[in-house]
Structure 1
Amino acid sequence: MCGIFCVLNNFSNNCDNLISQLKFEQNIKNRGPDSFNFQVFSTNDCSLAFAGSVLWLQGKNLTPQPLEDSESIFIYNGDIFNGFDEATQNNFGDTKLFHNFLKENIKNDTLDELYKVNGPYAFIYLDKAKKKLYFGRDIFGRRSLLLGKNKEGDTLILTSVAKRKTEFDFIEVPSVGTFCYDIQKNRFEVYCWQHKNKNYFSKLKDFESFLSTEIGNVFQREDDKPSNDIRAFEENENLKLLKSLKDTGLNEEGNTVLDQLLNSNLWLDNVKLLQKKCIQNKDNCNHATIGILFSGGVDCAVLALLCDKYVDKNRPIDLINVSFDEAKNYQSPDRISGRQTLKELETCCPNRKWNFVEVNVTKDALDKEREVHIADLIYPLNTILDDSLGCALWFAAKGQSKEYVTPCRVLIVGMGADELFGGYIRYRFALKRYSWQGLQNLLDEDWQNLPYRNLGRDDRVVSDHGRQLRTPYLDENVVEFLRKLECWEKTYPSSDLPLGIGEKILLRSLAYHLGLKQAATLKKKALQFGSKIANPKENGHEISSRLCY
């Protein structure tokens, strides 16, 4: 994890102290506590300043940033999960490997090939000779990158994190491809991802509107994504199996349904494939370097169990549970379900030390931290939902209970599970009103919107504590597997089954198969309600006055 920053002035004005003037420096340093460096590049007609901080998690040696050679200056925040063996990654580190891969694609004019990189990233790259500035985020938008401009329009900023009260306005760089700014021609280009969705061009229009300029060239490739039209599903064996569950006698937990599903080899095959696609991580360590945002629900429970499977047994795992329910001594719904699922984990994994970290947040602490700091991390987003989720995640990532502060450098979260497995309550209404085609369309729409919603915000608030955000459900291999399944192979939000069974039924089946029989049937609770940070009377889509300035 790193903090990256670049400021460009189209004149020869010196801009090397702008990061300090804007008070961005500390926020950038927070993201990478192991190293911070600065680099300036100036010519007769422009001046650029780069800053990079580093959280060192892998490789034999820390790679300081910015990374400079005779051709370029490069800053990078990301991980590579494919294409290189472990020895190569340990020797060179992901920063140098991505740098070399990027340079090769720039030379070959194949920047749209960056979508093949598995792993989250945001980067900024200066081609010194051609005076071109390249920047972008991964295809899912898992790492933050903001673009800012001043009112005069002569200074641009690219940064992981910004502040509200400055002379600059900011937007999130859309995850639509790799952007290129030709400094000499004062012109933007974009090398689009191969896969585009209906919001794709609207995001480019927003980008142009913000900069008050048109993108000069939009390099596109044909989209080879297959149509999402539903096949002749009435004859599908998995769907027949699900429909038969209507006549199954349900006990209080719905276990009979999951037992029956797992007795089907056809269903069990997908469950085992899903397990195989999930996270693997093997390191030796005797203190907790892995933390999990833990409400006790099925999403995080499965991740915890898989962490136990692949993380060295000598390493404790921190289960971080946040509550804002001061009036009820912090006995929020997530606190209650978290303790319940902890007992299941202790039964399933008796040789693992689980640290259940109770993060209790007073209203005074929430109000103070939001005003002086968290609102800047959430910016430029500004809704009530952004307020609730951003604050909840910031306090959770802080990981501080009365007697313990988590030392974890990686925080694992279940983001993307509802979009991929079909967990939202609105999917019930879509299926009931529009049948399977309507449900498929809504699943596709929600998935395609994911890069433009909250992942950049969540990266900003978690990384502020010098921890790296990991989203295993958004691993490219998991996504590819799940997106190829028909919708009824992963969710059955039908009134035939009670809430807490049909939604995300494939994931619930995996949890049950792994021994999490209670967690497998817990109803979904959004973080803002399970932690009791949100006021249910407020509309989450409205602008939050608490984030305004």
Structure 2
Amino acid sequence: MCGILFGASPASFQAPEKAQWEGLKTALNRRGPDAQKEVCLTEPAQLSDPAEPQLSLYGYATVLHLRGEQTVAQPLQDPNNNYIFFWNGEVFDSLQVNPHCNDTTVVFDALVAASNNSDPTVARRFFLDAIQRVGGPFAFVFYNCRTGDVWFSRDCLGRRSLLWRLPDSDHPSFWLSSVICTEGEPAPSGQWQEVSAHGIYRLDTRQWLSNPEKFSESLTCYRWSSLPATPTSLSGISGIEAVPQLQLPYQSAFIGILRQALRERVETIPSTLSLLGPDSTRVAVLFSGGVDCLCLAALLHQILPPGEPIDLINVAFENPRTTQLPASSQGPKHRGSFYHGPPYQMTLPSGEVYLFDEKEYHRLFDVPDRLTGRASFRALAEWAPQRTWRFVAVNVPYSQVEVQRTRITQLMQPAHTVMDWSIALALWFAATGEGYLEPWQTEHEVPISPTIQLQAYRSPAPVLLLGMGADEQLGGYSKHRDRFEAQGWVGLVEEMQGQIDRIAIRNLGRDDRIISDHGKESRFPFLSHRVVDFLCSVPVHYKADLRFQRGIGEKILLRYALRQLGLPLSACQQWKKAIQFGARTAKMTSGKDKGTDKI
């Protein structure tokens, strides 16, 4: 994973603004703690004519090392500085990358080879062919000095963040960045926007410098040659009879393809990252207990070595609107007035101590996702008792929400709605991996003592697996059921396609910015190209049969896959709760807020 910061401007403009640039660099350091590198070049727009206007290029990149034996600092440059490359991504489903090699160098070499043609038109065509053969989540910037082209894009599903700020009269430079949170400095002036995931962009710097007032005419977008498309054929749908008792068509194939996608996203993580101790782990699962994350955890068990633990990260928030519990201003914060045995003691990483009686602890943090999470954790522990499963309860008092409010609000920009905030809040705290192992899952009896110390634990896993993409493709949202009830199968198919089309702009860039702030990388097996292509080929009624009630009809293919894996029926019938309601980050201060309201 990488943090990208890139700028280009006429050399006569003194850029970048130092305070803003340094603030962005500091924010990017959190994304990539393992290596940092900065470049600055000034060159004529036409190499053959030094009298032509000059172009200033400046860039900064940070790296979280997750691929290959050696950390590769970015940006990459060829020996003659003809090409400069920034890469924030992982290669899956496509180019052959040796497990001991870094994928950044493989992609760079492929793009250089495609660009190394004296005819600019041919070089551009070869470049487009090469980048569209790269599968996996990514955002990149590539500068070709020979043609004066700056290429950049996000993958067609938008799984990595990339933002742009276009030049204007006050700021005549062009910027690209993974984030716009500036560590205490005000956000850079100008309009920052998410780079669309619908295509690959080329900035012709020579044309731009020849006519700086018409920047847009020097910018070209090439649409991806293939995008996910849900089939519209509705043949084969028969009348409703009963829930199938054994299996659905495509069920076994779905398990195999999803397992392979997960394997590719786990086995490439260097094993040296887990050598912190016998109980360390390379990967964690964001775990609400729903069928999406339950399936990922079950397949992960089949992939990882037997002795490697799996961390299941479950987040819960104190919501003052629903709990109405004032905190003491002095000494440890006591919650509750009726103590039934020793109080629970929870010490935050900041050193702040909270005391709860057992009843009040559960009243505060037994949010819907905590209850389903515990139930699914127990199902996994009974299904695979030989595996060490760690249920990491991330408990967030409201005081900590207030401490981090400004940072999270800045990180999620340009996303700016109440819904964006409530989702970003849950993901940011979950990605810390800082929680507790509750007494009921410890190996020993709870001792008789003045307090029960909740065992603090911080997951060392640098990779967090998330179930994004399952609801969109398998009819898991209430909008899917609403469309089906109003417009039948045609409406359901259209809603599925619309959800996939919107996922890049709606949440994946935002989620990447939030999770990566902790030096963690998010990975989405349900959004593997192979999984998406496979699900696009499956008839709609085998993915979601909304003639059946909640807990059965939506994501029916996934539920039957879990049964085939051997999970109990009760675990396979959980239904969708949006994370902001499952973790109780929604409506913390007012019940009147709407998700679409701006903050």
Cα distance, 1:406 vs structure 2 = 1.2
User: What SS does structure 1 have at the residue aligned with 2:281?
Assistant: coil
- Residues in 2 aligned to 1:368 and 1:47: alpha-carbon distance in whole angstroms: 39
Q: Who is 1:213 aligned against?
A: 216
Cα distance, 1:271 vs structure 2 = 4.9
State whether structure 2 residue 100 is matched by structure 1 residue 90.
yes
Moved more, 326-335 or 338-347: 326-335
User: What SS does structure 2 have at the residue aligned with 1:453?
Assistant: helix
| 1:402-443 Cα shifts (integer Å, max 9, x gaps) | 511111100000001111111112222222221212211111
Tell me if the contact between 1:271 and 1:509 (Cα under 8 Å) persists in the aligned partners.
Answer: no
Greater C-alpha Rg: 2
- Change in 2 beyond 3 A, CA 1:516/1:2: same
Q: From 275, 281, 290, give the equivalent of 2:283.
A: 290
Tell me if the contact between 2:41 and 2:56 (Cα under 8 Å) persists in the aligned partners.
Answer: yes
Tell me if the contact between 1:134 and 1:181 (Cα under 8 Å) persists in the aligned partners.
Answer: yes
| 1:56-107 Cα shifts (integer Å, max 9, x gaps) | 11112111111111211111111111344453x523x111111122233442
Aligned residue runs from structure 1 range 280-359, under 5 A: 280=263, 281-282=266-267, 284=271, 285=274, 286=278, 287-325=280-318, 327=323, 328-359=363-394
**Structure 1: unaligned runs, 5 residues or longer:** 189-210, 246-256, 545-549
Tell me if the contact between 1:181 and 1:187 (Cα under 8 Å) persists in the aligned partners.
Answer: no
- Residues in 1 aligned to 2:174 and 2:250: alpha-carbon distance in whole angstroms: 52
Q: From 388, 393, 404, give the equivalent of 1:369.
A: 404
Cα distance, 1:112 vs structure 2 = 3.7
- Change in 2 beyond 3 A, CA 1:448/1:22: same
What one-letter code is carried by the residue in structure 2 that aligns with 1:533? Answer: T
State whether structure 2 residue 147 is matched by structure 1 residue 130.
yes
- Change in 2 beyond 3 A, CA 1:28/1:19: farther
What one-letter code is carried by the residue in structure 1 that aligns with 2:85? Answer: F
Tell me if the contact between 2:11 and 2:42 (Cα under 8 Å) persists in the aligned partners.
Answer: no
- Residues in 2 aligned to 1:300 and 1:39: alpha-carbon distance in whole angstroms: 41
TM value normalised by structure 2: 0.78
Q: Who is 1:185 aligned against?
A: 207
State whether structure 2 residue 541 is matched by structure 1 residue 525.
no
- Change in 2 beyond 3 A, CA 1:488/1:367: same
Q: From 399, 410, 431, give the equivalent of 2:433.
A: 399
Tell me if the contact between 2:464 and 2:521 (Cα under 8 Å) persists in the aligned partners.
Answer: yes
- Change in 2 beyond 3 A, CA 1:181/1:322: same
Q: Who is 2:504 aligned against?
A: 451
TM value normalised by structure 1: 0.85
Q: Who is 2:126 aligned against?
A: 110
Cα distance, 1:131 vs structure 2 = 2.3
Tell me if the contact between 1:28 and 1:161 (Cα under 8 Å) persists in the aligned partners.
Answer: yes
Between the two proteins, the alignment pairs up a number of residues equal to 497
Cα distance, 1:401 vs structure 2 = 1.4
State whether structure 2 residue 71 is matched by structure 1 residue 49.
no
User: What SS does structure 2 have at the residue aligned with 1:6?
Assistant: strand
What one-letter code is carried by the residue in structure 2 that aligns with 1:428? Answer: R
- Residues in 2 aligned to 1:25 and 1:230: alpha-carbon distance in whole angstroms: 50
- Residues in 2 aligned to 1:146 and 1:224: alpha-carbon distance in whole angstroms: 21
- Residues in 1 aligned to 2:93 and 2:223: alpha-carbon distance in whole angstroms: 24
What one-letter code is carried by the residue in structure 2 that aligns with 1:90? Answer: H
**Structure 2: unaligned runs, 5 residues or longer:** 45-53, 116-122, 324-362, 437-455
Q: Who is 2:241 aligned against?
A: 244
- Change in 2 beyond 3 A, CA 1:223/1:392: closer
Cα distance, 1:125 vs structure 2 = 1.2
Q: Who is 2:545 aligned against?
A: 492
Cα distance, 1:482 vs structure 2 = 0.4
What one-letter code is carried by the residue in structure 2 that aligns with 1:94? Answer: D
State whether structure 2 residue 192 is matched by structure 1 residue 170.
yes
- Change in 2 beyond 3 A, CA 1:108/1:467: same
State whether structure 2 residue 232 is matched by structure 1 residue 229.
yes
What one-letter code is carried by the residue in structure 2 that aligns with 1:127? Answer: N
Cα distance, 1:9 vs structure 2 = 1.9
| 1:433-455 Cα shifts (integer Å, max 9, x gaps) | 21212211111111111122110
Q: Who is 1:197 aligned against?
A: none
Aligned residue runs from structure 1 range 396-435, under 5 A: 396-402=430-436, 403-435=456-488
What one-letter code is carried by the residue in structure 2 that aligns with 1:515? Answer: G
Q: Who is 1:18 aligned against?
A: 18
**Aligned-CA RMSD value:** 2.4
- Residues in 1 aligned to 2:381 and 2:419: alpha-carbon distance in whole angstroms: 34
Cα distance, 1:26 vs structure 2 = 1.5
- Change in 2 beyond 3 A, CA 1:19/1:279: farther
- Residues in 2 aligned to 1:376 and 1:467: alpha-carbon distance in whole angstroms: 18
